[in-house]
Amino acid sequence: MLTERYLDDLSSRLVSTGTWHPFPKAHERAPWTSVSDGLRSAHIERGISALKFDWPVAPATLFLDYTRTGNRSRYQTQVRDARRETLSDLVFAECLEGEGRFLDRIIDGIWATCEESFWGVPAHLKGRQNRDGGGLPDVTDPVVDLFAAEAGALLAWTDYLLEQQLDTVSTLIRDRIRLETERRILIPALERHFNWMGPNEHGRRPNNWNPWICSNWLACSLVLDTDPDRQIASVSKILKTVDCFLDPHPADGGCDEGPNYWNHAAGSIHDVLEILYSATNGRIDIYDDPLIGNMAAFLYRTQIGDGYVVNFADAQPQIDPVATNIFSYGKRVGDPDMCHLGAWYAEQQKLARDGFTSRANLGRRLAALSHLDELLQTEAKQPLPARVWLPDTQVAVGRSEVGSSSGYFLAVKGGNNGESHNHNDIGNLVVFIDAKPLIIDIGVEEYTAKTFGPDRYDIWTMRSDHHTVPTINGIEQATGADFQATDLIYAEDDAGFTFTCSLKEAYPNDAGIDRWIRSATLDTGAGVTIEDNYEMERVEHLQMTFMTPCEIEQDDRGVVLREVEMGNGRKSASGRIDFDTAKMEIKVDTYPLANVKFKRGNPWGENLYRLRVLATNPPLSGTLTWHITR
């Protein structure tokens, strides 16, 4: 998409080395003094708090914590994230105030960052970095991971914004920034091939790492590189690398990693395209391509309501994306729904009063300043489409009424079990009523070494028997891209939609399946119906699983799901599941959540419940029907 259009004449499109001026620098005071009082005060206060930051030491043993215990948050969150967010806050506060109050602490942050052995995180060390089995980084073999690239971009923007102020203290500061960024990012990214650049050793298409890293690598190259030939070579390779993400991307724009990864997948594509647009004075522009628009729209197409999103795979049910990035993307692709959603998130985040969230890195804050006033004047609302069908991603979404979170909501997926951030969940679904959870996807716990290791599918949240899919003859779905939904059919009308697929290929042969057709239907007035029509080679027992935050009571029609308080002022839905109780027995497993560490906090309350409905003495063929209503 980029290479064929722009590679041959890139040098004539790109601004000359050292002349790119995308944002006002700190000494150019007029744009900074025009920032609204609320945002200015919020970020200067953040800068004042950051003056007390003690730049925590990152000893080798803390780095080794990941290898020794599997914990990746003590180093990543308490040291790495804290350092980066503090430096970003100090720089932004200095730009807004312009009095030099924060400069010394900024220099401390620059120097501390440059002194780190590795800008990334222990979980991302691979191959030669672990040749001695110890898990420490090899400083002679720089790895360009997500967070190394982010650190490089943070230093690049700091250099860009504060060039005059830093040079008044010592020209060695900016020299050090260039030295470290060159050896850690610019040279290895240009001269080596990393898996995130293209299909990895398993033949998978790149995930969010690709645009996330490229957006930061691109900033490093355009801001810091003084070698014109290397800069052109770097930008050329970035175009080719981003094409490796875009070319095989589902045409429907779907992100198989879930909406919370949109921020670093499609959202980072927007970052790349904005930088390219700016650095070529608009002579690289692919925003009119339907794929780019569909990638933007995925974020609102998977909104449930009241802040909930469809959270298949390693996604969370509530997300905190960068509101300004959503709005800017919507403007570029001419999608007013996207702009309204950006304004809605800005309102939820109290952007005008509290400033940018920590997820808005320094580059995104700078990019937001030019359209911030327009964003805050835009009507804030969640565009809630009545029906969404993503045929390439194999996800169907529907609700009772367009633009409203009232009534029934159903999302169901096909796909395969080799997707990025995969859970074994083919045929899985979620049901909400009035934007409150009834039947859920659990989400993901805090990442550890096990999350992306060989034992990933020993984790309960990843297994199919903790998703709303059948367990057949005691056998769960299997892992890998070969285990997939087939024979998909989607149909919709004014009353709702039906999603149908075969689940046979999602299970190993040992399950004994001849035929298993799952249909999930949303009837906007009558609820959700699931039908599993099957034929078996042999049948011992069949089990259907439903995950819910609701307390469960059995009656003669099925089960009643009772509303519960989930914390933070949120409640679950209430409803029921009807089925043939004469042929079924139920078991309820309770999962206390007090000691479960979810990736972004506990969304479900005190307990989760697994409802297992077992078919007693099932025939070799038949239909299992489940009707979910208020």
Size of the chain in residues: 630
pLDDT of the residue at 57? 84
Predicted local distance difference test score (pLDDT) of residue 72:
86
Packing angle between helix 209-224 and helix 171-181, nearest 10 degrees? 140
Q: Are 419 and 456 in contact (CB under 8 A)?
A: no
Could you tell me the two tokens for 294? 């569909």
Task: With CA atoms as reference, report the closest residue to 315 among 214, 199, 203, 443.
Answer: 443
Burial of 346 (0-12, 13-18, 19+ CB in 10 A): buried
- Separation of alpha carbons 101 and 26, rounded Å: 13
Answer for the pair 195, 145: CB distance below 8 angstroms, yes or no.
Answer: no
Return the amino acid letter for 194.
F
Instruction: Look at residue 205 and give its three-state secondary structure.
Output: coil
Q: Which amino acid is at 174?
A: R
Give dist(CA 78, CA 447) in Å, integer.
Answer: 15
pLDDT (0 to 100) of residue 510: 96
pLDDT tens for residues 122-156?
989 875 555 565 689 989 999 999 999 999 999 99
* Helices of type H across 505-578: none
Nearest to 420 by CA among 272, 126, 240, 203: 203
Q: Would you say the C-alpha torsion 592, 78, 150, 30 has a positive or negative sign?
A: positive
Phi/psi class of residue 588: alpha, beta or left (left: φ > 0; alpha: ψ in -120 to 50)? beta
The pLDDT score that the predictor gives to residue 166 is: 98
Task: Give, in order, the Cα–Cα distances in Å from 536 to each of 467, 478, 486, 507.
Answer: 22, 18, 17, 13
Residue 475 carries which DSSP code? Answer: B
What local confidence, expressed as pLDDT, does residue 130 receive?
54
Residue 106 tokens read as: 């900024």
Contact 299, 319 (CB under 8 A): no
Q: What are the pLDDT digits (tens) for 246-279? A: 999 999 999 988 998 999 999 999 999 999 999 9
What pLDDT is stored for residue 58 in this prediction? 84
Q: Are 600 and 588 in contact (CB under 8 A)?
A: no
Enumerate residue ranges in the chain where pLDDT < 50. Answer: none
